Chains A and B, each alone.
Chain A
Amino acid sequence: MLLPLLVRRPLCSSVPLTRCLRAGLCGGRGRSSWAEPLLLRRRLPQRSYVQSRGRQRRSRTQEDEWKTRNRTALTYIAAAGVGMIGLSYAAVPLYRLYCQASGLGGTAVAGHDADQVETMTPVKERVLKITFNADTHSSMQWNFRPQQTEIYVVPGETALAFYRAKNPTDKAIIGISTYNVVPFEAGQYFNKIQCFCFEEQRLNPHEEVDMPVFFYIDPEFDVDPRMARVDTITLSYTFFEAKEGQKLPLPGYGSH
């Protein structure tokens, strides 16, 4: 703020100097006429020049310093912004890895493979009761019910269970089903070898069929501390009517 004032003062004082130089009246007061204006002229510009140059030099370095500081700050901020965007993109596979490692959210724990069925041994000490539930969607006219209310299995042993479905109407109905396992954490140990779900099943008018479910409980169930108090697992199937051209969101099931 001082800088413009300092610059302005020598300019203001130099204006009367030039005026009196032009008029030729300056040097009539007792000093030599030629020396005074010269002195004045020489002194004032010199002072202003020195002062302003000092101020300018300081201001220039200060400005440069500010500029470099601003530039580095902007670079850091830009890098942080880019880093944030990259992190948000990387978060998707990272979270998936974390879920698989910790088994959160019901994701498959270590991905059971079909060969396990051959090599697993039943854990005979741990008897589990599997109860069955059957539901239909409100607009679905099939009669759908389980043929046994419960079955006692042990982990590591394959088991068979039956449902029955009847089409009481006079027209063929195509149904498609999904299932649910309660309690939630036990669902990851419930492995179905073969069932009737996720595929369109067609029932002719007045037809009744048996629908088997072939499953087993993973032997790891016995070792999991979270499952220590679980003795009952409920398997619940729900049938929906499959309309022409309507695609239900199925969990990646396409092989048949």
Chain B
Amino acid sequence: MSTAMNFGSKSFKPRPPDKGSFPLDHFGECKDFKEKFMKCLSENSFDNSKCRLQSKDYLECRMDNQLMAKEPLEKLGFKDLVDPPPSQTDQNTKL
């Protein structure tokens, strides 16, 4: 679509990410958390809402290992997972 040569056709304009680029995890420090997340996804038919706790853990691992700038979790959209409210959607076991 972006290579169509029509005059006046809208072309896709990629936007840079808000918080920049993830540094590469060359040493696999957060690989375990990633595996847990992927396992959760495959168990829940790839429903992201059910695996938010695992994604939060993965991002926390990244922050702890200098692979991501430290940010309060509310800013990353995990406001509902930070304090333990009763409306937590995740009910699955971690493994």
Contact = CB atoms under 8 A, between A and B. Distances in A.
19 contacts: A107-B13, A108-B15, A117-B77, A150-B46, A152-B47, A157-B48, A160-B37, A160-B58, A182-B1, A195-B21, A197-B21, A198-B16, A209-B25, A210-B34, A211-B22, A251-B13, A251-B14, A251-B15, A256-B20
Contacts, number: 141
A188 B49 CA distance: 22
B14, B19, B52: which has the most chain A beta carbons within 10 Å?
B14
Interface of A: 104-108, 114, 117-118, 120, 122, 124, 147-148, 150-154, 157-160, 162, 178-182, 184, 187, 191-199, 201-204, 207, 209-212, 214, 216, 250-253, 255-256
A152 B34 contact: no
Interface of B is mostly: loop
Given A106-B12, A157-B48, A158-B76, A114 B18 contact: yes
B2 interface: yes
B79 A118 contact: yes
A197 B13 contact: no
Nearest to B1: A184
A210 B75 CA distance: 23
Nearest to B17: A192
Given A152-B46, A157-B49, A160-B58, A180 B76 contact: no
Contacts of A216: 77
A29 B73 CA distance: 131
Given A152-B49, A195-B17, 5 more contacts: A148-B46, A158-B77, A194-B68, A252-B16, A256-B21
B55 A159 contact: yes
A152 B17 contact: no
A127 to B, nearest CB: 8
Contacts of B19: 114, 193-194
